[in-house]
Amino acid sequence: MRTDFQHLLIQQDGGVLTITMNRPEVLNAFNDSMLAELTEAVEAAAQDEAVRCVVLTGAGRAFGSGQDLRSLAEGRSSGAIGTVSRHVQKYHRVVLAIRSMPKPVIAAVRGVAAGISCNIALGCDMRIAADDARFIEAFARIGLIPDGGGGYFLPRLVGVGKAMELAMLADEISGPEAERIGLVNKCVPVEEFEEATRAFAQRLANGPTLAYALIKKLIYTSAESDLQTSLRLEGELQDIAFETEDHQNAVVAFLQKRPPEYKGR
Ligand code: T3D
């Protein structure tokens, strides 16, 4: 995949691809160009067999401050932004690409994650936060509603009552609090954040990637299904997993009392 983006930094380390949103002067707020680049990078990562885990993060002191309000205001007065729901569909494309990607996507959040940046983090499969993280469903502060999937992700992660509170009051949630309420998988001291993120991602990249793709499908589909439907899908997906080299080699490795080596096949 190409790496010469204007507003993204791309780094590949083994099977881990790190995409860093890079507009630190505005806390990585989304303008149209960064949004288009992120869409392209995420869709390319999904297709790239060398990528077995994706980390999405922000440059500088923040993950992201949401929609760039200056470019939003300019787009509104020039008429470039027509119906806002059409503009927001561009964010939907990124969120859907993350959810359908057949490999794990981790949001690594330090500093602020506000508005649409927060919801893109919630749309990732897992989240690691530094203890300086600040999650803000900032939309209601400017008289908007959570978009980019916020209305879907929030109640599923933290329950309906807490989702209402976060969306309506739009208060900051710290990293440790986000871990306590289930908004993130883990929160680590800021000085350990980089290494903890690297280890988390590397562990996933070294895992049975094909099984992870099936796990994503099972869990996301099951969250919307009844038990019978989930059990039927489980059977279909386990038939696939059962035939993978990774499964067969892992059983041999177990019997030979050595650690398995997964190829993602
Ligand atoms: O059409 C659509 O797209 C609708 C959909 C909207 C989706 C959304 O995301 S709505 C939510 C948009 N985001 C916000 O409302 C957050 C706005 N920012 C803030 O409230 C604060 O900046 C933060 C709480 C995020 C961080 O506060 P703090 O004190 O740590 O930093 P700061 O000093 O406010 O920000 C640093 C700089 O970044 C500052 O610029 P300056 O003064 O140094 O030149 C600030 O203006 C700039 N900045 C921060 N957020 C944005 C931004 N510039 C443009 N857009 C931003 N969202």
Q: What is the position in ligand 1's atom list of the atom closest to the CA of 116?
A: 9
CA 155 / ligand 1 centre spacing (Å): 25
Residues 139 and 84 in one domain: yes
Residues 121 and 221 in one domain: no
From the list 120, 107, 14, the residue with the least C-alpha distance to 66 is 120
Ligand 1 binding pocket includes 37 (Cβ within 6 Å): no
| Per-residue pLDDT of the chain in tens (265 residues, 90 and over written 9) | 899 999 999 999 999 999 999 999 999 999 999 999 999 999 999 999 999 999 999 999 999 999 999 998 998 888 877 788 889 999 999 999 999 999 999 999 999 999 999 999 999 999 999 999 999 999 999 999 999 999 999 999 999 999 999 999 999 999 999 999 999 999 999 999 999 999 999 999 999 999 999 999 999 999 999 999 999 999 999 999 999 999 999 999 999 999 999 998 9
Helix/strand number for the chain, H first, E second: 11, 9
> What's the confidence (pLDDT) of residue 118?
98
Ligand 1 binding pocket includes 167 (Cβ within 6 Å): no
Residues 241 and 135 in one domain: no
> What's the confidence (pLDDT) of residue 81?
75
Is position 244 within any domain? yes
Question: Where do the DSSP E strands lie in the chain?
Answer: 8-13, 16-21, 53-58, 105-109, 112-114, 126-130, 134-136, 173-174, 186-188
Spatial contact of 19 and 38, defined as CB atoms under 8 Å apart: yes
CATH number at residue 57: 3.90.226.10
Ligand 1 binding pocket includes 115 (Cβ within 6 Å): yes
> What's the confidence (pLDDT) of residue 163?
98
Domain count, the chain: 2
Ligand 1 binding pocket includes 121 (Cβ within 6 Å): no
Residues 118 and 84 in one domain: yes
Residues 163 and 39 in one domain: yes
Ligand 1 binding pocket includes 29 (Cβ within 6 Å): yes
Residues 37 and 127 in one domain: yes
Residues 153 and 249 in one domain: no
Residues 15 and 79 in one domain: yes
Place of tokens 């990607």: 101
Question: What is the domain extent for residue 250?
Answer: 209-255
Q: What is the position in ligand 1's atom list of the atom closest to the CA of 84?
A: 1
Rounded to two decimals, the pTM is 0.96
What backbone phi and psi angles, to 5 degrees, belong to 67?
Answer: -60, 135
Residues 214 and 154 in one domain: no
Residues 54 and 119 in one domain: yes
Ligand 1 binding pocket includes 123 (Cβ within 6 Å): no
Residues 235 and 114 in one domain: no
Distance from C-alpha of 83 to C-alpha of 145, rounded to nearest angstrom = 15
CA 202 / ligand 1 centre spacing (Å): 32
> What's the confidence (pLDDT) of residue 1?
84
